[in-house]
């Protein structure tokens, strides 16, 4: 029987936090029960990196996109370049894209403009999207209502909003990305969301090197730490760890359209 393995739908292994031991660490993933990783672009340079990493490792896929904090470097040419990259066989999504009003730089207007353009690019290329949205619930939903092709699917990464808002995205067929926050003492709201959402619409994510789950909170995160997130979801839903790993793995493959 094939062992069910963890699928990390959102990581940043090209971050400098992994400069010393990246290859060693990635080589150890299979033995640690991690079967697949998606390296997510968040800027122009990290998008290039995500493409490179997905070419290097058979179990690593990539997503291409520019995070709201970095969009001031974008031009219409960058959008065309992203569209070209989505044609690569191992590029599985456009992201991470969205709005982050925690910082007001770049301005909300600038963030919105490039969020819309990247959503339209994903629609044109028929790609799923990875959405980053912080302190921007209303504007994110409004823009997505107008510019997202819901039928292509996608994930609200690091979902941090209410159960009511979760229901809206779930109804659209979107997935919710669940990571270390579900183990945090102040993660109560997310626990409620996990309780409410069908397991068939949850995916595991680390956001490595950030958001390390308890008991290792504060240290560098990597995909092996997802076992703590699996434990938390299993406990919340009253099901086995194996079921959490198996179903979230299937969900991730369905969402990113990875066969096999
Ligand atoms: Zn991220």
Q: Distance, CA 131 to ligand 1 centroid (Å)?
A: 9
pLDDT at 2 (0 to 100):
61
Q: Helices in the chain by DSSP H: which ranges? A: 22-27, 44-56, 76-85, 108-125, 137-147, 163-171, 188-196, 226-237, 241-256
**Cα-Cα-Cα-Cα dihedral sign, residues 182, 183, 184, 185:** positive
Q: Distance, CA 211 to ligand 1 centroid (Å)?
A: 10
Q: Distance, CA 16 to ligand 1 centroid (Å)?
A: 14
Q: Distance, CA 63 to ligand 1 centroid (Å)?
A: 11
Please say whether the beta carbons of 166 and 196 come within 8 A.
yes
**pTM flag (> 0.85):** yes
- Residue 239 confidence (pLDDT) above 90: yes
**Closest to 252 measured CA to CA, from 1, 3, 6, 4:** 6
Q: Distance, CA 125 to ligand 1 centroid (Å)?
A: 22
For the stretch 96-111, pLDDT in tens is 999 999 988 999 999 9
Cα–Cα dist 173/218, whole Å? 33
Q: Distance, CA 85 to ligand 1 centroid (Å)?
A: 19
For the stretch 72-130, pLDDT in tens is 989 999 999 999 999 999 999 999 999 999 988 999 999 999 999 999 999 999 999 99
């Amino acid at each position: 029987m094939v062992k069910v393995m963890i699928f990390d739908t959102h990581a940043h292994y090209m971050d400098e936090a992994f400069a010393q031991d990246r290859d060693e660490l990635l080589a150890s993933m299979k033995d640690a029960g991690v079967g697949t990783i998606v390296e997510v672009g968040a800027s122009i340079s990290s998008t290039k990196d995500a493409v490179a990493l997905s070419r290097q490792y058979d179990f690593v896929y990539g997503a291409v996109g520019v995070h709201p904090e970095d969009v001031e470097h974008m031009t219409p040419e960058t959008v065309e370049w992203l569209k070209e990259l989505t044609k690569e066989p191992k590029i599985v999504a456009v992201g991470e894209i969205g709005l982050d009003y925690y910082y007001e730089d770049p301005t909300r207007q600038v963030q919105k403009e490039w969020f819309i353009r990247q959503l339209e690019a994903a629609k044109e290329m028929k790609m799923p999207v990875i959405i980053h949205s912080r302190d921007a619930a209303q504007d994110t939903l409004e823009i997505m209502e107008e510019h997202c092709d819901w039928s292509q699917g996608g994930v609200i990464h690091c979902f941090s909003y209410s159960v009511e808002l979760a229901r809206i995205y779930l109804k659209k067929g979107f997935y919710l990305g669940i990571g270390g926050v579900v183990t945090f003492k102040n993660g109560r709201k997310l626990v409620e969301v996990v309780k409410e959402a069908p397991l068939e619409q949850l995916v595991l994510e680390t956001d490595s090197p950030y958001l390390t789950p308890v008991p290792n909170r504060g240290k560098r995160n990597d995909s092996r730490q997802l076992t703590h997130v699996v434990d938390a979801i299993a406990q919340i839903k009253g099901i086995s760890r194996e079921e959490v790993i198996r179903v979230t793995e299937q969900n991730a493959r369905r969402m990113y359209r990875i066969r096999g």
